[in-house]
Amino acid sequence: MKFVRAIWKLLVGIKDALVLILLIFFFAMLYGALSARPAPVKEGVLDLNLNGSVVEQPARRNWADIAGSSHPQEYRLRDLVAALDKARDDSRVKAVALDLDGFSGGGATAIGDLANAVRRVRAAGKPVIAYGVGYTDDSYALASAASEIWLNPLGGVLIAGPGGSNLYFKGLLDKLGVTANVYRVGTYKSAVEPYIRNDMSPAARENYTALDQARLETWKQEIKLARPKANIDLFLTNMNGAVAAAGGDMAKAALQAGLIDRVGERRDFEERLAQLGGGTGANGAPFKEVKLGSYIADVVNQRPAGPIGVVTIAGMIVDGKAGPGTAGGDTIAKEIDDGVNKGIKALVVRVDSPGGSVLASERIREAELAAKAKKIPVVVSMGSVAASGGYWVSTPGDFIYAEPSTITGSIGVFGVIPSFQGTLKKLGVGADGVKTTPLSGEPDLLKGPSPEASQLIQTGVESMYSRFLGVVAAARHKTPQQVDQIAQGRVWDGGTARQLGLIDGFGGFDDAIAKAAQLANLGNERGVRYLEPQLSFRDRLIEALAHNGDEGTSAPDDAFAILAHQPEQQLASVLSEVRSIMSGPSIQARCLECPPVAPARVDEKDLGLLGLIKELVS
């Protein structure tokens, strides 16, 4: 027995030692991750290897991103613009590489702002070289600002213009036995159509056609200003003819049409960067590279403390609190209140949102009005999308800026309440009960809302629409009847919105800062303070651990490989919308027909929902 006890003590000792070693190793890694500093920036080529999308406000990463989630990286627009503006006068930066192999796009206004920053680098006398295997509408709009556009010999310029098919869920909901009880106001409030139709209504088609034509014209004008000799119209109207004339060679066709400057392999592109950056890099690197993350950390102040407060309303507007990338009404309102209490002199509201909750939108608007009540001027800067609830939160602005490519309007309200009487029937489950009043147990999600409940909800939606009209009318110095004529849920491009008086002028974020300084009598002061919460310990840890996986992603092999992620994004959109309709009662000021401000994301809840759908429709 003594021998057995000795062996047991030995095993326990080994176990304790191993646990101790693992704990020491873990905390050493934790300390290293949190205390790590980017490598010192040396001279070379600033490498903008954009392997993801450009957004106003990236969503916080989660543990799945460390475990190898396929969620694409999101780059904050203001960081990229600030880095490029610093690079103009930084002697360490000899050139800029715009590597767009993994670029998945962004909103039109965001890409336009980034392209303008690229042009400022060129104006400072520094070359910007773009490279890609396949250029889409978004990536080509950005590449067109470069000094040279390179294309892989197996690549192509796959521009197509706005438009395409939308998803309609009526047939799916019928198979699931789900009834979408819809309450809406507005002839053009087509956001609810996917739940009640299998195709597009004539009114929605009219709105989409006008909007997409305006977006196409704006895109073409920007490209023609950047590359006057590029035959964009040929590729938009007869790409097959252009490729056939080049003997079936898509890269050659793009070169002949003046859309690109050089056809070359990646190694040729890297040799060109080595020439511009002063030779090869350390450890056999093909050129002297200045990594984007290290450069942003070195030159961009993430915690400025100027007198102009900037709050970002990005993504869906939701009730309560929410992290970055989603606009929680309580969160945004608190950020504004905290900024006012800390002495900001002016407030700039940057909006990139298709709307969402009416109550959350009103919560944010009230916070803006409270700031104005304290003599703090409010200037709104619209990004790519500021529609429906996104327009609601813009109304307090003393001046509203947008771009011609901005999508705005969608002044309308709708409600969707799912009921599952069909689903219960499929499952062989009944629902019954008693009522003490006509509204007992309403809205009844098991048997469907009663006529009395439906009438009450419709009245509420109409009341909220009237409230929306009144808010816009008071802000834009119009009558509710005048607003109603341009409302009805219709979506407008920025150019038309200005003609209709929904915005005050064209301009970007810098223009909004200048206007805020002017209204607050700050003279030449342009210092800003970003009103947003600091990263928590958990967020800092995840960011540090996930950072190592951001680089080294393989590039697509040919021009059409860049389209490989589109089916995944469409699936994510489908699951997101089905989850939205099945999540319960909802009354919103939301623009579903607007393009997304960030890629949709498939998570574990969506996969579970997909399994349920398969079971019910099989």
Contact call for residues 152 and 132 (beta carbons, < 8 A) = yes
d(CA 225, CA 23): 59
- Residue 367 CB neighbour total at 10 angstroms: 24
Question: Strand pairing of 179-185 and 413-419?
Answer: antiparallel
Q: Check: CB of residue 291 under 8 Å from CB of residue 93.
A: no
CA–CA dist 2, 584 (Å, integer):
66
Question: Hunting for tokens 């040279």 — which residue is that?
Answer: 148
Task: Using alpha carbons, select from 492, 451, 359, 352 the residue that is nearest to residue 413.
Answer: 359
- CA distances 156 to 108, 149, 336, 473, 505, Å, are 21, 12, 46, 48, 37
CA dist list (Å): 205 to 184, 237, 354, 385: 18, 21, 19, 20
Query: Can you tell me which residue has the tokens 């590029």?
Result: 230
How far apart, in whole angstroms, are the C-alpha atoms of residue 155 and residue 415?
A: 46
Distances in whole angstroms, Cα of residue 574 to Cα of each of 143, 198, 422, 607, 614 = 31, 14, 21, 12, 14
Q: Which residues are known catalytic residues?
A: 189, 388
Name the residue among 71, 151, 143, 134 with its Cα closest to residue 114. 143
d(CA 471, CA 336): 20
Which amino acid type is present at position 86? K
Contact 367, 332 (CB under 8 A): yes
CA-wise closest residue to 140 among 220, 72, 211, 74: 220
Residue 390 neighbours by CB under 8 Å, 6+ apart: 313, 317, 351, 352, 353, 354, 355, 382, 408, 591
Q: How far apart are CA 308 and CA 376, in angstroms?
A: 10
Count of residues for the chain? 618
